[in-house]
Chain A
Amino acid sequence: AQTVTQSQPEMSVQEAETVTLSCTYDTSENNYYLFWYKQPPSRQMILVIRQEAYKQQNATENRFSVNFQKAAKSFSLKISDSQLGDTAMYFCAVPVPGNQFYFGTGTSLTVIP
């Protein structure tokens, strides 16, 4: 069975600083993708970054990057130069056969001015 664990319910970071959100998962799949989604106060889910599990190179999207450790089944999100607009809930998601997502419980990130 797939499980996704986000062990940090709440985090805060000073504006312009760097923060890392953790995610661990369990899956029986060999080829899969991993995603981080952001849900700001508007509650619109927004894709932040994706990682293809068969790629060793960590994905990067501007200020967002991942540290993907396949053997450890760890998929953390690093946000550099944090901005006030980064304040949101962040969810780690792992697709399973049938294309459903298993979502983690989320990390509430607050960027402090």
Chain B
Amino acid sequence: GAVVSQHPSWVICKSGTSVKIECRSLDFQATTMFWYRQFPKQSLMLMATSNEGSKATYEQGVEKDKFLINHASLTLSTLTVTSAHPEDSSFYICSARDIQRKFFEQYFGPGTRLTVT
């Protein structure tokens, strides 16, 4: 149980275009999902917290107009990178909390590698 999927796993886009990444909890409901960014050999950096039915909360320094997050249902959150630039190239990981569990652990998706050319 507690499986989180991400789609796509790998995407290449041209500079100036937008790309959407989906994060789904497959076998549980997640009122809260998180989006992280990870550079090679570095730790996970929290970008935003996504709550179902409300606006996402962004971490300091993360441009909310560039990284659009929508959490339309208890099993789906999306991250849209708008007007992508090469510096947006990174590994993006989502995670979700199971509202039925008390331990606050997060279940992680497999990640999406974004390359902007």
Contact = CB atoms under 8 A, between A and B. Distances in A.
B117 interface: no
Given A91-B44, A101-B46, A43 B110 contact: yes
B103 A33 contact: yes
Interface in A57-113: 91, 95, 98-101, 103-106, 108
Interface stretch (B16-24, B63-71, B76-84, B91-99): B91-99
| A interface SS class | strand
| B interface SS class | strand
A106 B46 contact: no
A68 B60 CA distance: 31
Given A44-B108, A44-B110, A104 B49 contact: no
Interface of B: 32, 34, 38, 41-44, 46, 49, 57, 91, 93, 95, 97, 103-108, 110-111
Interface of A: 33, 35, 37, 42-47, 50, 52, 91, 95, 98-101, 103-106, 108
